[in-house]
A and B are shown apart, each in its own frame.
Chain A
Amino acid sequence: MVRLLTHNLLACHVKGCTSNNFPLQFQNVQIELREADFNADFLKNFLPKLEWKALVDSAKDLGDTSLPLEQPEMLDDEFLKNLHHVLLEIHVEEGSMTCPNCKHSYPISNGIPNMLLAEHEIG
């Protein structure tokens, strides 16, 4: 059930991995689309938390190119609908997420990323 909503908030947390550790790169993913409740207020509140470029790139990796390269100033309905779909309706079920810096790979199984670290990776 990892969605871009949380993927966009997630950096690598391996010991000493503090720069260039975001966004985690999806690999060998299987996705599922599931409808979610549309809530424009939620989306507007959430926008400031997003790293826009990472969102656009990760969405592209998952096969969705509906988002504009630059975050628009005007939030029209069509934009919000697309944002809603990208953040909340694309579920990554299988695959992995790899840190661009230290290359640690977080496996995803049945929608749940395994964030556990080995002893030597704990900060």
Chain B
Amino acid sequence: MSRPELQAPPEIYYGDTEAKKYTKNTRNQQIQADMTYRALELLNLPPDEPAFLLDIGCGSGLSGEILDEEGYLWAGVDIAPSMLEVALEREVEGDLFLQDIGQGFGFRPGSFDGAISISVLQWLLNAETSHPTSSPPHRLNRFFTTLHSALRNPSRAVFQFYPSSDDQIQLITSIAQKAGFGGGVVVDYPNSNKARKVFLCLYVGGGGGQQQQIPQGLDGDVVEDGKVRFEKRRARDLRKDKNGKRKSQKVIDRDWILRKKELYRKRGKESVPRDSKFTGRKRKPVF
């Protein structure tokens, strides 16, 4: 099967059925969670400072849930109503927007302390119509320009994505540079077919932190099935069963929500909403 972004526009591809399938798949949950942790690591936020983040192409909230768990407040944008609907059902805590990132943002200057985007950018490389505003370079330019101004100076935006050629990486980075970003590309596990991951790390100003060079990609330590061990990955949140295997998490139900609230309470967060008969209730469909 060809890559999803070649099959249909995103809001069509991620329709009701695919949105549910995508979100329920425990292996997919794991992969998205791991990449989100890695993106947060590359974001290099000042430790112990509260931050307000943007999740670009937040989808059904698999990446946003990690932001919740890590205690960040965030806003998320996505073009697929069905994905956002699943995010609502899962009660993620970010403010959600139905938005096409290729049309640019209206966020005021300096709104966000950082941005992440997990498995999204490759979708901007395909033209949907012949209208001039729908050519990939035009959309990328609009996207990066308005994102650059929405970010605080200094700060970073980290994108994990699936380029299909070096030319695509070249196109994306050159447009990002013209929009004012510094930074570059980090490739984790470059020699592993399965574990290889591409991260575009963009800096506003110096990017924050002392270190202004592009971070090193990870290497080595790839387990057989192609899953990688990220440095600080989930260390605090790992729930393992007796055999030391990760439990599949995040099935959308009341239990899951109660577990999540319990987790928050343990971390000493105040005023986690009390459990009520509405906890885990089904919400109305979105659109």
Contact B103 A116 (CB under 8 A): yes
Task: Tell me how far the C-beta of B100 lies from the nearest C-beta in chain A, rounded to whole angstroms.
Answer: 6
State A22–B106 Cα separation when bound (angstroms): 10
Q: In this assembly, does A69 line the interface, its C-beta being within 8 Å of a C-beta of chain B?
A: no
Residues in B with CB closer than 8 Å to A9 are 75, 107-108, 111
Contact B95 A122 (CB under 8 A): no
Across the two chains, which residue of chain B brings its CB closest to A11?
A: B106
Residues in A with CB closer than 8 Å to B271 are 35-38
Contact B50 A42 (CB under 8 A): yes
Residues in A with CB closer than 8 Å to B97 are 2, 6, 112-113, 115
Partner of A122, one of B84, B103, B283: B103
Q: How many residues of B contact A (CB 8 A)?
A: 43
Q: How many residues of A contact B (CB 8 A)?
A: 36
Known: A6-B75, A10-B108, A112-B98. A45 touches B284 (CB 8 A): no
Q: Which of A6-58 contact B (CB under 8 A)?
A: 6, 9-13, 21-22, 34-39, 41-42, 45-46, 49, 51
Q: Which of B2-51 contact A (CB under 8 A)?
A: 49-51
Contact B270 A3 (CB under 8 A): no
Interface centre among A34, A41, A113 (most CB of B within 10 A): A113
Contact A109 B50 (CB under 8 A): no
List 28 A–B pairs whose Cβ atoms lie within 8 Å, in order of A's numbering.
A2-B95, A2-B97, A3-B95, A5-B73, A5-B95, A9-B108, A13-B104, A13-B106, A36-B271, A37-B269, A41-B50, A45-B49, A45-B50, A45-B52, A49-B108, A110-B88, A111-B88, A112-B286, A113-B97, A113-B98, A115-B97, A115-B99, A116-B79, A116-B99, A119-B134, A122-B104, A123-B103, A123-B142
Closest 8 CB pairs of A and B: A13-B106, A42-B50, A115-B99, A9-B111, A6-B95, A122-B133, A110-B286, A114-B98
**Chain B residues at the A interface, C-beta cutoff of 8 Å:** 49-52, 73, 75, 77, 79, 84-85, 88, 94-100, 103-108, 110-111, 129, 131, 133-134, 142, 146, 264, 269-273, 283-287
